[in-house]
Amino acid sequence: RPQRRGALLQQPLGVVLGGDQQEREPGRQPRQVDLIALVDAPVLGSPATLGDTLFLVTRIGTVYRIDPGSEPRLRRITSLDWPVTAPVTIEDGTIILGGADGLIRALRTDGRELWRVRVWRPVEVGPVGLRDGLVALGGNGDLHRYRQ
């Protein structure tokens, strides 16, 4: 059964927009589920937003964007060569991901890497943005503050 995350539902290997077919409003038929596209692995956490665009990452490290419109479109941005273990975070227009290798990487919205920092592995909690940098929690309970 899909898990509800606002208007977006996540299923292993699929991203859908709309309601669950089991949901019913009194006196109405079940809602239709609209499939946007299939992805290559289970989606890790809730998508992040930048303006009206959604970004999501799968456990094997593929980053996708869902562009808005009357027919939303799922597009692969990049396929990383490491498993992602923390939900996608967006800070100042930058995609930030934590990996099983203990690295937090920042990507441009086109998938190119901007920077990386190392914490204890695995990174399981998404970094938190601050006005002058970010705070990250490593896999050993280690807390790091990075300034711009």
Cis before residue 122, ω within 30 degrees of 0? yes
Structure tokens, 72: 């939303």
Which residue is listed with tokens 């100042």?
Answer: 92
What Å distances lie between residue 17 and 37, 78, 103, CA to CA? Answer: 10, 22, 31
Residue 73: what pLDDT? 84
pLDDT in tens, 65-101: 988 877 778 899 999 988 999 989 998 899 999 999 9
CA 24 to chain CA centroid, Å, is: 28
Strand, coil or helix: what is 48? strand
pLDDT at 12: 42
Q: Is 45 helix (H, G, I), strand (E, B) or coil?
A: coil
How many other C-beta atoms are found inside a 10 Å radius of the C-beta of residue 119? Answer: 20
pLDDT (tens digit, 9 = 90+) per residue, 124-139?
Answer: 888 888 888 888 878 7
Residues 6+ apart with CB under 8 A from 9: 2, 3, 15, 16, 17, 18, 19, 20, 33
Tens digits of per-residue pLDDT, 6-46? 444 444 444 544 434 444 456 666 555 555 678 888 888 88
When pLDDT is cut at 50, 70 and 90, the band that residue 147 belongs to is confident
Bridge partner list, 143 = 137
Bond prior to 26 in cis (omega within 30° of 0) = no
Enter the tokens of residue 14. Answer: 């699929």
Q: What would the two tokens of residue 67 be?
A: 């562009």
Average pLDDT over residues 99-113: 92
C-alpha to C-alpha distance for 130 and 88, rounded to whole angstroms: 16
